Amino acid sequence: MTKQTFIKAVGLIDDSYIAAYLNAAQHITTRAKTHTQALRRRITALVAACLVAAILVPIGVHFVPVTYDLNYQEDGDTFYYTGGFHWIYYTTDSGRITRKNVYVKPGTTPNIDNIIIIWKHLNHIDDDVRFDYNRYATKNNIPCLNVSVSENIQNYPDFEGKLEALRCTIIGNFVYEYVEFEIIKN
């Protein structure tokens, strides 16, 4: 007996046996075409998803919060705390001021020093640039901040833009309504 003979013989078995399996396995026997169509739909959907991601990711990445683990010792009073997320402003290569949503982990109390650490990171400022600040209030009890910056900040391109970004960051995260900068000798 050859394989072909066996295969032919199986093709001649009783109708009722074949009918019983067909009724049970209809979804399998008809799956080929629908599978092909389903596969085509999946591939199309995947390609479409990749295209959408390629367009949206460069836009959306600005809205993805960056997590900072500052573990910084609190120094002085706790200033206004908005919660875990903070907008930190920075300058782009084209000189535009934009912002990034930053998440400061729980257990780390945000204060101006912490925020400046993050601001430095986003504005590519090295640690040799030092900051000192003094808070005061006007006659009408409007909280203000005077920030002293070491003169080596001027070595950085667009340092005025970066300080403006820092002003926006401090006003956005703390109670101060006015922020003034003073360049001092190293």
**Which of residues 3 and 96 has its CB atom nearest to another protein in the complex?**
3
Closest distance of CB 38 from another protein, Å: 13
Rounded CA gap, 137 and 15, in Å?
97
> Cα Rg for the chain, rounded, in angstroms?
33
Burial of 97 (0-12, 13-18, 19+ CB in 10 A): middle
Rounded CA gap, 123 and 166, in Å?
9
Closest distance of CB 13 from another protein, Å: 5
Give the residues lining the site for another protein (CB under 8 A): 1-15, 17-22, 24-34, 36
Closest distance of CB 92 from another protein, Å: 52
**Which of residues 33 and 185 has its CB atom nearest to another protein in the complex?**
33
**Which of residues 4 and 78 has its CB atom nearest to another protein in the complex?**
4
Closest distance of CB 40 from another protein, Å: 11
Rounded CA gap, 83 and 110, in Å?
9
